[in-house]
A and B are shown apart, each in its own frame.
Chain A
Amino acid sequence: MQQFFEILTKPDNLPIVFLLFSVIFFTWFAWTKAKKNDAQGYPVEATLDDKVQVWPYLVRVEFLATIAVMAVLVIWSITLDAPLEEPANRALTPNPSKAPWYFLGLQEMLVYFDPWIAGVVLPSLIIVGLMAIPYIDINPKGNGYYTFKERKFAVLVFSFGFLILWCLLIFIGTFLRGPGWNFFMPGEKWDPHFVAVLTNVDFSEMWPFNIATRMPDGSLNPAAFIFGAVCVFGFYSLGPLYWLRKRNTDFMKKLGLVRYAIVSFLFLTMMGLLVKILLRLIPTFLGMNPVKYVWVTPWFNV
């Protein structure tokens, strides 16, 4: 437990402690505001729409905020020194080697995906997906006030992505991943000699499919290749299938096929992340071998 406390209070990890508290606070805060707005039927912001002079009413808020932030920053800087370790040495690899804290969510994804997905494709999709949000969310409601009722899907998906897939994974990556990127519960000692006994299998090799990925001579089993392709494409075909069912609704017509294709692709990719994490975790809890790849090809693995 003492070691966990040490990791928790490492100066460079303090921002994550801030992150944890501020994100929980602001989520709760926005939630209460949204609930209040939803319950009374009109946004509370609409009752505060009379104009006030920026000088002094806005400038003084900015001024006070500036003083508060500067005070916190100066005290923080006086009390805690920024870390400076031994000089850079390529011959000495620390274990664990960790990226800066804001990338640890992505580093955590490396457990579940190969680097080309976790390190390149997913970050690119996050950026592109974020930029696409204003153009694929055609719901005109909820513009300029807190609400949940009027845009449930948008708020739920974004909160899931931000709170769970971004913040929680950063937290896990920082505090619960020790030497060898092994998982340690809070209080467990980070033992560098700990060897996790992991026999990963591919999805096709699991019960009840039992299709070996490799032939006895080591070459790729075509049946496993096709099985994996069917799984991946089958998963993404949930998008078109849902569209076929709902295409005649007013909402779908307004959304249009292009927007729907983008939404469903991004949404399914996000859920695919979750599926892959669960394929790893659930068998572990059931005492089975966790899944490594769903689809193995000669060029890349998913």
Chain B
Amino acid sequence: MLEAFKKTEVYKSIFRHSYQDTQRNRALQIVDNVFLHLHPVRVPRHATNIGYTWGMGGITFLLFLVLTITGIILMFYYRPTAQYAYEDMKYLMNDVPFGPLIRNMHRWAAHAMVLTVMLHMFRVFLTGSYKPPRQFNWVVGVILLVLTLLLSFSGYLLPWDQLAIWAVTVGTNMARATPLLGHEGPFGPELGMMPDNDVRFVLLGGTEVGPPTLLRFYVGHCIFLPIIAAIFMAVHFWRVRKDGGISGPETPKKT
């Protein structure tokens, strides 16, 4: 029965090759699969060694996927207005089946992602992997690090509880001291900066963290920043391949 099905046009249109353990099939397994074809077919042995790579970049990407999925589920239960946001959180934590699990996973994965991004950068630095020809990919990586922090920070406000509002107040208060562009920064007042027209006002949509801020951070957190991050991630992964795969010693010396 199964053998007969394997000979049909339908089966052959889906699975392009057999599963016998041959070199050719192992290669096809990678290049014929949209999810796996990010990989080269073959890599140097040290690239599979967790002691060399620490796996932090891959784990970061995994956590990004987890955050996307749990984030979309959370969006079904959450309204980004000051009137409803906190009530929706309570509803989510108390009445929604598996609500706490989804929210906890979203929050802990976000914290973990900040951590793994930092460790990934540390490893890439210590192995000198930013050196030619990978200079630009390091720059892309720094942008992704900043985007990760911004994503985490904008998400911090959304529960609309005391923790959220004051952490974001402390964080965004810095913007008022921006040189030239903040109303308390050097040369800010001289340029006509006031609490209601400086860079912090643009960030918050008001002179303090309020309902407009919640909406701004929500849109940034759920749409703008993830799209930007996804674009830079695509460039990051593509450049890893184009710059010759994972870094490694250039002139191998055999013992």
Question: CA–CA, A39 to B137, complex, Å?
Answer: 30
Check B166 for interface membership: any CB of A closer than 8 A: yes
One of B39, B252, B253 near A58 (C-beta < 8 A): B39
Contact A88 B165, beta carbon cutoff 8 Å: yes
Please indicate the chain B residues that have their CB under 8 angstroms from the CB of A88 in the complex. 82, 86, 160-162, 164-165
Contact B63 A87, beta carbon cutoff 8 Å: no
Name which of B7-15, B151-159, B223-231, B232-240 contacts chain A.
B151-159
One of B26, B66, B103 near A56 (C-beta < 8 A): B26
Contact A120 B177, beta carbon cutoff 8 Å: yes
Contact A102 B161, beta carbon cutoff 8 Å: no
Min CB distance A222 to B, Å, is 19
Name which of A131-139, A197-205, A225-233, A269-277 contacts chain B.
A131-139
Check A2 for interface membership: any CB of B closer than 8 A: no
Contact B253 A52, beta carbon cutoff 8 Å: no
One of A29, A82, A120, A135 near B108 (C-beta < 8 A): A82
Contact B174 A115, beta carbon cutoff 8 Å: yes
Check B242 for interface membership: any CB of A closer than 8 A: no
Check B119 for interface membership: any CB of A closer than 8 A: yes
Smallest CB gap from A60: residue in B: B48
- B94-135 CB mask vs A (1 if < 8 Å, else 0) is 000000110111111101101100110111011111111011
Contact B252 A77, beta carbon cutoff 8 Å: no
Secondary structure call for the A interface? helix
Min CB distance B96 to A, Å, is 13
What is the number of residues of chain A that contact chain B, defined by CB distance less than 8 Å? 94
Question: CA–CA, A246 to B198, complex, Å?
Answer: 45
Contact A49 B45, beta carbon cutoff 8 Å: yes
Contact A52 B48, beta carbon cutoff 8 Å: yes
Smallest CB gap from A106: residue in B: B174
Question: CA–CA, A76 to B182, complex, Å?
Answer: 41
One of B86, B104, B127, B255 near A146 (C-beta < 8 A): B127
Check A242 for interface membership: any CB of B closer than 8 A: no
Contact B45 A51, beta carbon cutoff 8 Å: yes
Please indicate the chain B residues that have their CB under 8 angstroms from the CB of A135 in the complex. 135
Check A207 for interface membership: any CB of B closer than 8 A: no
- B196-220 CB mask vs A (1 if < 8 Å, else 0) is 0000000000001110000000000
Contact B115 A22, beta carbon cutoff 8 Å: yes
Contact B167 A98, beta carbon cutoff 8 Å: yes
Contact B125 A73, beta carbon cutoff 8 Å: no
9 shortest interchain CB distances as A-B pairs: A119-B174, A134-B135, A115-B177, A77-B104, A300-B186, A48-B46, A82-B107, A88-B165, A142-B128
A residues apposed to B, CB below 8 Å: 12, 14-15, 18-19, 22-23, 26, 29-30, 33-34, 42-43, 45-59, 61-62, 65-66, 69-70, 73-74, 76-78, 80-90, 92-94, 97-103, 106-107, 114-116, 118-121, 127, 130-131, 133-135, 137, 139-147, 151, 154-155, 158, 162, 166, 299-300
B residues apposed to A, CB below 8 Å: 23, 26-27, 29-30, 36, 39-52, 54-55, 58-59, 62-63, 66, 82, 86, 89-90, 93, 100-101, 103-109, 111-112, 114-115, 118-119, 121-123, 125-132, 134-136, 138-139, 142, 145-146, 149, 152-153, 156, 159-167, 169-171, 173-179, 182, 184-187, 190, 208-210, 247-255
